[in-house]
Structure formats: C-alpha cells, structure tokens
Amino acid sequence: MDRIPGHPVDPLFPRRWSPRAMAGTPLQRAQLLTLLEAARWSPSGGNGQPWRFVYALRDTPAFAPFLAALVPGNQAWAHRAGALVLLAARTLRDDGKPALSAAFDAGAAWMALALQGTISGLAVHAMAGFDREAIRIAAALAAGVEPQVMIAIGVHGRLEDLPEAQRAREQPSDRLAVEAFASEAISS
Ligand SMILES: Cc1cc2nc3c(=O)[nH]c(=O)nc-3n(C[C@H](O)[C@H](O)[C@H](O)COP(=O)(O)O)c2cc1C
C-alpha cells in the first residue's frame, strides 16, 4: 500500500517500515556503527542514556546464539539478516533505585536507529518475539540490564527470500489517523 500522510511531514517517517526480506549478506561493522551513532543522540531522562546494544554480525560466532533466541516465526526470516542486535535497558540506577524511563528512553534510541537505517538504505526490523533468558545468556547481560527488543538489520532482499507464508504481508502497513489518537484538551 502507499502511505499517504494526512498532514505535511518529512517523507522519512512514512518511508520507514519493517521489511522481513533480507539478502543474507554480511553487514559491515561501519554500517552498523552509523546506526548506533544515530541512537547515541537520542534524548533520555536526566540524560541517563540507559540503552545498551549488543550486536552479533553475520558470519561471527555470536550470530547463531542470537538467532536461536528468536521465536521460530522470526528465525524463519531473520536468519538472512546481516546483523542481529539486542537492545536492552539499564533499569536500575547506580543507587539501586529503578530508572523509571529506561524502557521509554530505549524506545527513543530504537527509533533513531531505525530512521538512520532507512536513510542508509537498510532493512531494519524490531522483534519482541524472543526468549529473554536465552538472549540474556547469549548477550552476557549484567544484572539490572533488561532485554527490550531484538533488531534484525540487513541489506534488502527479494520476496523469494521469504518463506511463502510470510510473503503476503511484506508491505508497509497503514496507521490510524492523527485524529484517532490525538485530541485537544478540553478547557474548563
Ligand atoms: C516492540 C516491537 C516488537 C515487534 N515484534 C515483532 C516480532 O516479534 N516479529 C515481527 O515480525 N515483527 C515485529 N515487530 C514489527 C511490527 O509488527 C511493525 O513495526 C508494525 O506492524 C508496524 O509496521 P512497520 O514497522 O512496517 O511500519 C515489532 C515491532 C516493535 C516496535
């Protein structure tokens, strides 16, 4: 489908989407670092920067355990990614108190990474479908750092690169209109 904005917006926003078709080619470390650099400049509560990324480049030994942590439906296409990335958040502060905006801040970092991925011409796809304990071990997460999402990043592939069952939904999705999720406060 064509994504038609209802209000003027930079074309980058509707252009970003989550493809599953990936070419199965390696991602250069420098390409990935560009995406992580974009994430670096995200805002966070108190500038706490609680996001933690652990990445596994294709054709390195870390890739297999990262892939194995995904649910089968995600493994079915993400095995062709050039890198699999865990985005975790440091949910405990140094003083032992909870960092209340950690997940929110990590979400901002994800979006910066995803938008830079679009600008870089890469396919970037977030996944909540993974085994949290498996990825904790694979990514050697410290206590107080909680997995948020895994991210597949790769060179765009072809429809044929996907299992047949996943081909039909390989297209950008629509959204609710702004008016459906934003309303003006009623003044009393
Ligand atoms: C937190 C989060 C978890 C997601 N989990 C999965 C997942 O496990 N598998 C999958 O194929 N897509 C997953 N997605 C992709 C969403 O389905 C997708 O972002 C949504 O349908 C909107 O489509 P778009 O990103 O193409 O605009 C996830 C996205 C987010 C932000």
Top mutation candidate among 13, 125, 176 for ligand 1, by most atoms within 8 Å of CB: 125
- Other residues' Cβ atoms within 10 Å of the Cβ of residue 1: 7
116-166, pLDDT tens digit by residue? 999 999 999 999 999 999 999 999 999 999 999 999 999 999 999 999 999
Distance CA 68, CA 75 (A): 7
Instruction: Find, among 105, 118, 108, the residue nearest to 10 by Cα.
Output: 118
7-50, pLDDT tens digit by residue? 999 999 999 999 999 999 999 999 999 999 999 999 999 999 99
Question: 32: which 2 tokens?
Answer: 């990935």
Pocket of ligand 1 (CB under 6 A): 17-18, 74, 126-129, 149, 172-173
Question: How far is the centre of ligand 1, averaged over its atoms, from the C-alpha of 158 (Å)?
Answer: 19
Distance of alpha carbon 181 from the chain centroid:
23
